[in-house]
């Protein structure tokens, strides 16, 4: 029976250190601030927004939500984003994605200021994650996965990490972060042959698929560490991960639950990134 590794102690530890840093920055007369840019009112955007606002309040970080109409034109959106880029009081910008179809993310990603891009929208930050350049901002969720492993003492050196999912939001960046910690990384996706067999070779298994309870005990090697990034709803409308927790906990040595796992650490990483952006922008 594996150990349940919860997100809360990790989130609390990050939050504590952010609170201290914010106090120190405020003593210099600077107030760290996050701007959240939301188009429309998608329920999963709103869920994240509520969590992010609560976390910023706890950390003493200012926040502003720029809620834009769902039918905003591309030009109007770009004008709004540039306004936030240019606002000296704003240090971090979070743009909810995916954006509505008529807005072209491949153009907009070049508009957001890389220095304020706390969730890795800009290609500059995507490149920095790949380069292992720590002046950038990897996205908050993959960073949360790494923070959990650091907190619980998972040694990645030379270990085989298997990531299910290759999105720019989770799968690809988390693979780069694992590689930086000297894991040997395999990235799986919808065309991977024999997914369960591939996953059974993993010392560390990261599931970022978006398919409720896809990963069962046939995917898990005895003693593996299992990190579940998925946020899904099951048939009874309860939140569940990509991992069938009850089946996998028998074999895993450590496993994150959903809820109260990876997702609960994401917003504290976001707060940490706002502070980092504030420091870089003010040269402190
Ligand atoms: N905890 C948090 O804060 C966050 C959680 N999430 C959650 O993480 C999960 C993944 O999100 P995201 O990366 O954005 O999702 P995407 O839908 O963008 O990507 C899913 C990936 O999984 C792969 N995939 C889909 N079905 C299968 C399958 N049957 N077998 C193998 N691979 C498959 C896809 O492969 P292919 O590329 O071939 O299509 C794709 O690479 C979701 O549940 C999401 O809700 C997301 C962001 C934040
Ligand atoms: N640029 C961008 N980055 C994102 O990371 C991003 C996004 N856009 N758009 C929307 C999706 C959705 N998303 C959620 C994260 C957490 C909860 C959530 O419910 N979190 C719970 C905890 C869940 C748990 O405990 O596992 C909480 O904060 O209390 C929901 C949704 C992020 N997203």
Predicted local confidence at residue 149, as pLDDT: 98
Quote the ipTM score. 0.96
Predicted local confidence at residue 263, as pLDDT: 94
Q: Does 20 show up as a binding residue in the annotation? A: no
Predicted local confidence at residue 14, as pLDDT: 98
Predicted local confidence at residue 152, as pLDDT: 98
Tell me: the pLDDT tens digits for 6-55?
999 999 999 999 999 999 999 999 999 999 999 999 999 999 999 999 99
Tell me: the pLDDT tens digits for 185-235?
999 999 999 999 999 999 999 999 999 999 999 999 999 999 999 999 988
- Atom of ligand 1 lying closest to residue 140 CA: 3
Overall average pLDDT of the 232-252 stretch: 95
Predicted local confidence at residue 158, as pLDDT: 98
Q: Residues near ligand 1 with C-beta < 6 Å?
A: 141, 164-167, 169-171, 188-192, 195, 208-211, 214, 229-232, 262-263, 266
Q: Which domains does the chain have, with CATH numbers?
A: 29-113 (3.40.50.10860), 140-262 (3.40.50.720)
Cα 208 from chain centre: 11
Tell me: the pLDDT tens digits for 105-138?
999 999 999 999 999 999 999 999 999 999 999 9
């Amino acid at each position: 029976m594996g150990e349940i590794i919860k997100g809360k102690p990790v989130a609390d530890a990050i939050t504590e250190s952010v609170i201290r840093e914010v106090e120190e920055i405020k003593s210099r007369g600077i107030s760290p601030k996050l701007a959240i840019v939301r188009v429309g009112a998608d329920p999963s955007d709103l869920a994240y927004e509520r969590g992010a606002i609560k976390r910023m309040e706890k950390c003493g970080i200012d926040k502003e939500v720029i809620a834009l109409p769902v039918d905003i034109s591309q030009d109007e959106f770009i004008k709004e984003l540039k306004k936030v880029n240019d606002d000296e009081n704003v240090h971090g910008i979070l743009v909810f994605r995916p954006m509505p179809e008529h807005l072209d993310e491949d153009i907009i990603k070049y508009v957001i200021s890389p220095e304020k891009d706390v969730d890795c929208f800009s290609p500059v930050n995507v490149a920095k994650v790949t380069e292992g350049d720590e002046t950038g901002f990897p996205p908050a969720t993959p960073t949360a996965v790494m923070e959990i492993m650091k907190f619980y003492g998972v040694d990645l050196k030379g270990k085989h990490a298997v990531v299910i999912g290759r999105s720019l939001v989770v799968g690809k960046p988390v693979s780069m972060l694992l590689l930086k910690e000297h894991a040997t990384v395999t990235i799986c996706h919808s065309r991977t042959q024999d997914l369960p067999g591939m996953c059974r070779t993993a010392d560390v298994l990261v599931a970022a698929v978006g398919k409720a309870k896809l990963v069962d005990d046939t995917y898990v090697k005895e003693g593996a560490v299992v990190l579940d990034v998925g946020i899904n709803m099951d048939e009874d409308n309860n939140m569940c991960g990509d991992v069938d927790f009850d089946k996998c906990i028998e074999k895993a040595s450590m496993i994150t639950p959903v809820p109260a796992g990876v997702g609960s650490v994401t917003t504290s990483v976001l707060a940490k990134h706002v502070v980092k952006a504030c420091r870089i922008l003010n040269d402190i």
